[in-house]
Amino acid sequence: MIDVEDLIALVRNYNPRTNADLIRRAYAYGLKMHEGQFRHSGEPYFTHPVAVAAILTEMRLDDATIVTALLHDTIEDTRSTYTEVSELFSPEIAELVDGVTKLTNLQLSSSATKQAENFRKLFMAMSKDLRVILVKLADRLHNMRTIKSMRPEKQAQKARETMEIFAPLAGRMGMQWMREELEDLAFKVLNPEARISIIRRFVSLQKESGEVIPKITGDIRALLEEAQIDADVFGRAKRPYSIWRKMEEKQLSFSRLSDIYGFRVITRTEMDCYRVLGLIHHRWRSVPGRFKDYISQPKSNGYRSIHTTVSGRDGKRVEVQIRTRQMHEVAEAGVAAHWAYRDGEQTENPFAVDPTRWLTSLTERFAEGDHEDFLEAVKLEMYSDKVFCFTPKGDVIKLPKGATPIDYAYAIHTRIGNSCVGAKVDGIRVPLWTRLKNGQSVEIITAAGQRPQATWLDIVETGRAKAAIRKSLREEDRTRFVKLGTELARVAFEHVGRRVSDKALRTAAKAMGLPDEIELLSRLGSAEIAAREVIGALYPELAAQGAETVEPTRAVIGLEADQSFHRADCCQPLPGERIVGITYRGQGVVIHAIDCPALEEFEEQPERWVDLHWSSGQHPPVYTASLMLTISNDAGVLGHICTLIGSQKANISDLHFRDRKPDFYSLVIEVELRDVEHLHTLLTALEAETDVAQVERLRDLARKP
């Protein structure tokens, strides 16, 4: 375990004015609180907080963050309290420790809905003070470095969580070194065989080709010395997981994989970056399509650098990154550059972006949205690389890799996205599903009255576009459901000899615990409530008038006195059809139509068959049958169909769409009927309608009793 004076020495390396007494007090307090606690490895528990603090000194963070690391588990795992930490140290430190504690308690690998909700809490905590996530990331890094002492199943869970959440989050925060190490540590747990295989191949490659890195580093240094450019040159082999990911993405074997070596040139000035680029391209052949200038077009997390891949010594492809010292600090520290200290003063790095912008934009954009929408947007933005496109005026729009013109339109403004009907890329009209590339100029064509299509959700890449499309579709669905509900309510009221009015609907909504008549109509149109429930809320006596002519217990003949029954969902037999019963233990008798294919599985069990038939007489319209309709997609058609069904004295109990096309709808309507004759009458009336292309009774064998 690192001694307190050694820890203070690490801080003094970059901050000579550090409050050594504060760190000593925090160290002593943490040691006392964790006394008697041990890690899975058998080490004293306090070795972990000290190691986390040491990791944060590598990022040159302020005293408050270092102290938070030392205390980050005290409130959760010891008798320490928020109030005590606040009084002994400061309210700022207590708030940071409390924030880390709340992050630790979030179950980010739980069920999808809970994970989405907790992800939002994670980002809300980060937006208050990003130092909280820096401590949490350092905490996760040390836990992954010492993961071997955990149970295998716990190792796998932590590794998956690290790979899916913490590693990409570190990358989005600009800390690429931490992302790479977290990924590789998780890879070591999740796929140890693949990692060992790559390391072995690396060793074999080095034996064959010798020490490639010193040779190429020497070549670049000689080139710079000849041009009298003052710069540092570093080379390294890429980490096993990075190589494995490239092999998987490009479907290449290790022997065919290029640029497994990376080199960095750190210059003094921005102008020198471009001079170095010219020298390297003049000396070695550049690889087409592998050049990116993040200096003129920085990444959204502040990252600036020039990337190029060249065919170096012996034809081996190598990637070279060129950047200034200040750019390198941001590339290494990411958001930590905002709190980094040098010589006792907070560093002012001109290339460090405000890290709260991304968090604020996300939390504001999805303030009222679904947790799932928020999680989807965050993951898309954490994982995606960027492409840069130009507006007709020359402004730059940043989009994730794989973005389409629809994403571009929504990036400009939601109104532009909603009304988008087409796009031109570099002056040529292209489909809306076209994937945009770096440097393209995009022009969006809009039209009044255009609305987002449901199919757009499968086309777009950005969380912003997906959220806007879903919101528009929800509003459009609500409008459509209100119109449909209005028609259903009118038919239901006429059925009992009453006229529908806003006042009547408001009264019914109040009786049913709904906020207003619009919500009632929307739920009625979406089949969340039935029309008979609305009538029953206002006119209980009229709703009861349709009382059964045949008593429910007498509807089927052939049952024992104590036997209950219900109709099979697969065939939905109606009075008037030949039926048979199948006995089920605990369910009574299930009635099937005599021609139901589901009966085949009971052929070898004759003892379970019961001979039944429907009673004679008038049956009430309470027997559900499913109809599948294909109708034209024109204004008023759906409402007219519902009116027609109501005029046939049939009630709609449920309705849902199976497929929506620009010209036709395919939908399933569940109607309540008296008998098979009532069904045939309704089918005949629907078939006679010009707007109905097809109608049939739907029997779903997937829905067993």
Between CA 594 and CA 608 the distance in angstroms is 15
More confident residue, 51 or 255: 51
Kindly state the percentage of the chain with pLDDT values over 70. Answer: 82
What DSSP designation does 106 have?
-
Q: Which of 162-166, 245-249, 315-319, 667-671 has the lowest mean pLDDT?
A: 245-249
Confidence of residue 550 (pLDDT cuts 50, 70, 90): very low
Q: Is 76 a catalytic residue?
A: yes
Which of 35-39, 108-112, 120-124 has the weakest average pLDDT?
Answer: 108-112
**Residue-range domains of the chain with CATH:** 4-190 (1.10.3210.10), 194-346 (3.30.460.10), 356-470 (3.10.20.30), 472-546 (no CATH), 552-705 (3.30.70.260)
| Band of pLDDT at residue 468, cut at 50, 70 and 90 | confident
pLDDT value for 546: 47
Which residue in this structure is represented by tokens 């939908």? 667
| The pLDDT of residue 601 | 85
pLDDT one-digit tens code per residue, 652-664:
877 777 877 767 8
Catalytic residue among 76, 164, 494, 654: 76
Q: Which of 183-197, 239-253, 300-314, 361-375 shows the highest mean pLDDT?
A: 183-197
* Residue 288 reports pLDDT greater than 60: yes
Q: Is 85 helix (H, G, I), strand (E, B) or coil?
A: helix
546 phi, psi to nearest 5 deg: -80, 25
Q: What is the mean pLDDT of residues 195-216?
A: 76
Residue 703 has pLDDT above 60, yes or no: no
Q: Which long-range contacts (CB under 8 A, 24 or more apart) does 518-523 make?
A: 518/482, 520/485, 521/481, 521/482, 521/485, 521/486, 521/489, 522/478, 522/481, 522/482, 522/485, 523/481, 523/485
- What is the mean predicted confidence (pLDDT) over 324-340? 75
- Whether the predicted pLDDT of 380 surpasses 50: no
pLDDT recorded at residue 10: 92
**Which pLDDT belongs to residue 467?**
80
Q: Which of 566, 573, 564, 698 is nearest to 630 (CA)?
A: 698
| pLDDT on residue 553 | 46
Q: What is the C-alpha end-to-end distance of the chain, expressed in Å?
A: 65
Q: At residue 91, does pLDDT exceed 80?
A: yes
Q: Given pLDDT bands bounded at 50, 70 and 90, which one contains residue 551?
A: very low
Q: What is the pLDDT of residue 343?
A: 59
SS3 for 303? coil
Residues 6+ apart with CB under 8 A from 677: 576
Q: Looking at residue 165, what DSSP letter applies?
A: I
Pairing label, strands 613-614, 556-557? antiparallel
- Measured distance CA(471)–CA(475) in Å, rounded: 6
113 pLDDT exceeds 70?
no
Tell whether the model's pLDDT for residue 344 goes beyond 90.
Answer: no
| Measured distance CA(538)–CA(542) in Å, rounded | 9
Which is catalytic among the residues 3, 5, 6, 77? 77
Is residue 54 predicted with pLDDT exceeding 90? yes
Other beta carbons within 10 angstroms of residue 680's beta carbon come to 14
pLDDT at 358: 54
Beta bridge partners of 233: 265
pLDDT more than 90, % of the chain:
21
Name the least confident of 18-22, 239-243, 347-351, 528-532.
347-351
* Amino acid 7: pLDDT: 93
pLDDT of 269 over the 90 cut? yes
Where residue 196 falls among pLDDT bands split at 50, 70, 90? confident
Enclosing H/E stretch for 292: strand 292-293
pLDDT surpassing 50 at residue 552? no
d(CA 170, CA 578): 67
